[in-house]
Amino acid sequence: MPPRTTTKGKTRPRAVAAVRDGDTPNVARLSTTAAPAPVEKVPLFFIDDVEYGMPKKIRPNVSLKYLRMIREQGADVAGAWLLEEVIGTEAYEALMNYNALEEEHLNRVMQIVEKHVLGQAEQQRAGNG
């Protein structure tokens, strides 16, 4: 069997215990042409009688980006990015332009979003998502 190489042509060792189906490794095949599923939203906050929501199901790549941003840029930058990514520009601007916004309100919204994102990532890893 020839040695495996990286995309830069360097040889890398074979995994000790590869999961195989016959002679074919079990591989995840992903498609960039798959149509996005419709986004179901759940309520997150209200300003007066206007409801602002977030997706009921968070895409796993959002969790990955968030965790990387925490490592590379810090929790504050990552948290701000996550909030806007999850709730969208309209809801983010509504919070930004709400002059009666208190720190406790913002912290609560951010906690809900973070728990929702990371909780779903944890469930998916455990096979429950």
Single-letter residue type at 70: I
- Are residues 25 and 18 in contact, defined by beta-carbon separation less than 8 angstroms? yes
Per-residue model confidence (pLDDT) at position 10: 54
Per-residue model confidence (pLDDT) at position 90: 96
Per-residue model confidence (pLDDT) at position 14: 46
- 3-state secondary structure at position 38: coil
Q: Is the dihedral of CA 13, 16, 20, 26 positive or negative?
A: negative
Per-residue model confidence (pLDDT) at position 35: 79
Per-residue model confidence (pLDDT) at position 36: 78
Per-residue model confidence (pLDDT) at position 15: 45
Q: How far apart are CA 109 and CA 95, in angstroms?
A: 10
- DSSP H helices, 2-127, are 60-73, 75-96, 103-126
What are the sequence ranges of the domains in the chain?
A: 41-126
Residues lower than pLDDT 70 in the chain: 1-24, 120-129
- Tens of pLDDT, residue by residue over 94-126, are 999 999 999 999 999 999 999 999 886 666 566
pTM (whole model) above 0.85: no
Q: How far apart are CA 56 and CA 38, in angstroms?
A: 11
